[in-house]
Amino acid sequence: MTRPRGGISGIGQRRPRITRSWTAAREKVELEGVCRNCGTPNALESAHVIGREHDADFPVRNEDWSPYDVAPDRIIPLCYDCHQGPNGQHSGRLEVLRLLTLPEQIQAVADAGGISRAMQLLSPSANPRIAA
């Protein structure tokens, strides 16, 4: 019998690594060819609209995807600065909602678990913690 490392608390245990297929998401980014926010064609990244944890779910609009495919409606093309920069999406300062298509908005609401939570995550002005 093997015991998990880290004892009862689970400290020190490794989580299994999730493998994702980015094929369809990267095709979308390459097809658009520019950052949705600033329009630059340079260093485009596939930015998750809500979060990576939802890649394990089936997308709302396309039930034939495998569980770890990154659904294109969960991704938008952003340059490095707009994605990870000090005023970018990861800092919570980028107004992402205005950049989304209707199918992407529908997916975001589903992933967030409701429209109120989606608004908090996608719109800094709707989040008092960031707007203050």
DSSP annotation string for 7-32:
TTTTTTPPPPPPP-B-HHHHHHHHHH
- Number of domains the chain contains: 1
Query: Is 1 inside a domain boundary?
Result: no
Residue range 77-95: average pLDDT? 93
* 10 or 124, higher pLDDT: 124
Model pTM score:
0.73
Q: Is the pLDDT of residue 128 over 60?
A: no
Average pLDDT, the chain: 79
Q: What is the pLDDT of residue 3?
A: 42
Which range marks the domain in which residue 69 is found? 23-131
Query: Is 16 inside a domain boundary?
Result: no
Residue range 31-45: average pLDDT? 95
- Lowest-pLDDT range of 2-6, 13-17, 37-41, 49-53: 2-6
Query: Is 40 inside a domain boundary?
Result: yes
